Amino acid sequence: MLRTLLVFLICTAALFASGPVYVVLWFDTEDYMEPAADDAALRIATDLEKLGVRATFKVVGEKARVLETRGRRDVIRALVHHDIGYHSNFHSIPPAPAVYLREMGWLDGAAEFERREAPGAADIRRIFGVTPSCYGQPGSSWGPQSYRALLRMGIPVYLDEGAQVALDEQPFWFGGMLHVFAMGRNLIRPSLNDENQLSQTFAQFDRSAGELEARGGGVISTYFHPTEFVTSAFWDLNFAKGANPERSQWRMPPRRTAEESERCYRILVRYVEHAMARPAVRFVTARELPGLYESALGRVPDRAAIARHMAERQTFLTTGESSLSAAEMLQILLGMEPQVVEGPVRRGATNFRESVISRPAFERAKADAAGFIKAGRRLPAEVWIADQTLSLADFAATLAADDGVASEVAVRKGNPEMERYITTDPSGTFNWPIHPDGFSAPSLLEIARLQAWTLKPARVK
């Protein structure tokens, strides 16, 4: 009887087997002023290793160089047992990335980001012996041009928090990078200042994990800064509102007492232990993420389904078996093998005056668009009909609604619904004490809207 019951229980458990919950635990390792922050990183890395958990330490270039100068091989070795990401070259020394990217376009901005930030990633590689697995911006100093540069630097994952682009509080693809960003309810951060709040955080974690298990799996993102465990205010307030004091003038952040620090370490361990107790939970690093998410398109819907979707709205399409960006669907509609491409570098306009296009002219336009995409691995801003143009969105809608045989093709108006996933708040989303007062970056959001052709949810394998 007992055996029958046991078999029954095991079968029931298998029936309700739930999706994996991947917890990405990451530490922005950035304070290159307070030496105690080096010890904090070492302690955290050691505590987690004892628990059998690997975290991702996103290291600032200057922090890596400082660890080297201070002879902290012990810290470097301990962090290498975990995963190493990148968190910009100088973090808060002005100009921060959003500040220097704000007046730049897609290509020149990417080149400038690479010029300024690639040397720090090279130092990480030299000092830690690995290419950083991921990048995340300092503070809210985000800029979409970083994507193009990061991919050239061999960094495929964007791991951070922010509100400039958001998709369903789960990982997504954008600009060719796998993002863990804007995680909403799935961002869980225990307060280091109040151990009594932990039970509420545990409840929040369980709720989130339960929902993710029910929907087939997903990611919970949790982050800290090692410096938070030993200081009570951020080190980089030296650079508030764009200030740039000389090194000799830097003021050390206020220290926590030893007892306070012990409480912080205890809170982290208790949180990790709580998460580990849940069978579906697995702690993963940024380096593991691309292997856990589909990069292939999966079973693509037939052309007719894609055409129906794209004729109405230019945005990603997800089915049970695939996830397609508007850029991928545009390539499919053009008869191309879909590749990872960039969005257009600027917003094109329609100045084509007629309401219909002759079949031969439209076929030439299609071939021209396909040629442009193939040559530059980038979508065109507009498509030429002789010496007139259709904006990319209008062209996509027109192409999708075309039956491919009529002697004339009716021009349709585009509906770039994908742009909804980019915030319309150019000030609040860039709010950061380090940015100049009143900083606003609408042009960066406009570049992001153009790149939203590449946006789509990531699918758990």
Binding interface with Zn ion (CB under 5 A): 28, 30, 138
CA–CA separation, 237 and 33 (whole Å)? 11
Residue 88 CB, shortest distance to Zn ion, in Å, is: 8
Residue 138 CB, shortest distance to Zn ion, in Å, is: 5
Task: Using the minimum distance from each CB to Zn ion, give the nearer residue, 28 or 161.
Answer: 28
Return the amino acid letter for 427: S
Q: Which residues face 409 on adjacent strands?
A: 357
Task: Using the minimum distance from each CB to Zn ion, give the nearer residue, 232 or 351.
Answer: 232
Task: Using the minimum distance from each CB to Zn ion, give the nearer residue, 28 or 169.
Answer: 28
Beta strands at 172-174 and 456-457: parallel, antiparallel or unpaired:
antiparallel
CA–CA separation, 289 and 279 (whole Å)? 19
Task: Using the minimum distance from each CB to Zn ion, give the nearer residue, 300 or 434.
Answer: 434
CA–CA separation, 255 and 369 (whole Å)? 59
Please list, residue by residue across 275-287, b when 16 or more beta carbons sit within 10 angstroms of its beta carbon and e when fewer do.
beebeebbbbbbb
Residue 240 CB, shortest distance to Zn ion, in Å, is: 14
Task: Using the minimum distance from each CB to Zn ion, give the nearer residue, 114 or 161.
Answer: 161
> DSSP letters of 244-296?
---GGG--PPPBPPHHHHHHHHHHHHHHHHHHHTSTTEEEE-TTTHHHHB--S
Q: List the end-to-end C-alpha distance of the chain, in Å, as a whole number.
A: 38
Task: Using the minimum distance from each CB to Zn ion, give the nearer residue, 123 or 328.
Answer: 123
Give the tokens for residue 128. 């830690």
Task: Using the minimum distance from each CB to Zn ion, give the nearer residue, 132 or 138.
Answer: 138
Residue 58 CB, shortest distance to Zn ion, in Å, is: 8
CB 313 within 8 A of CB 396: no
Residue 19 CB, shortest distance to Zn ion, in Å, is: 31
Residue 316 CB, shortest distance to Zn ion, in Å, is: 30
Task: Using the minimum distance from each CB to Zn ion, give the nearer residue, 97 or 338.
Answer: 97
Residue 91 CB, shortest distance to Zn ion, in Å, is: 6
> DSSP letters of 9-57?
HHHHHHHT----EEEEEEEEE---S-THHHHHHHHHHHHHHHHT---EE
Helix-strand-coil percent breakdown of the chain, rounded to 5?
Answer: 45, 15, 40
H helices of 155-230, in order, are 198-214
Return the amino acid letter for 219: V
Task: Using the minimum distance from each CB to Zn ion, give the nearer residue, 395 or 432.
Answer: 432
CA–CA separation, 150 and 449 (whole Å)? 19
CA–CA separation, 63 and 99 (whole Å)? 21
Residue 400 sits at the vertex; the CA angle it makes with 397 and 404, to the nearest 5 degrees, is 130
Residue 305 CB, shortest distance to Zn ion, in Å, is: 43
Tell me the torsion sign for CA atoms 415, 421, 422, 425: positive
Task: Using the minimum distance from each CB to Zn ion, give the nearer residue, 28 or 123.
Answer: 28
Residue 159 CB, shortest distance to Zn ion, in Å, is: 12
Task: Using the minimum distance from each CB to Zn ion, give the nearer residue, 31 or 114.
Answer: 31
Residue 274 CB, shortest distance to Zn ion, in Å, is: 26
CA–CA separation, 107 and 130 (whole Å)? 27
Give the tokens for residue 15. 């029936």
CA–CA separation, 109 and 115 (whole Å)? 10
Residue 150 CB, shortest distance to Zn ion, in Å, is: 16
Q: Which residues contact 55 (CB under 8 A, 6 or more apart)?
A: 25, 26, 27, 44, 45, 48, 82, 83, 283, 285
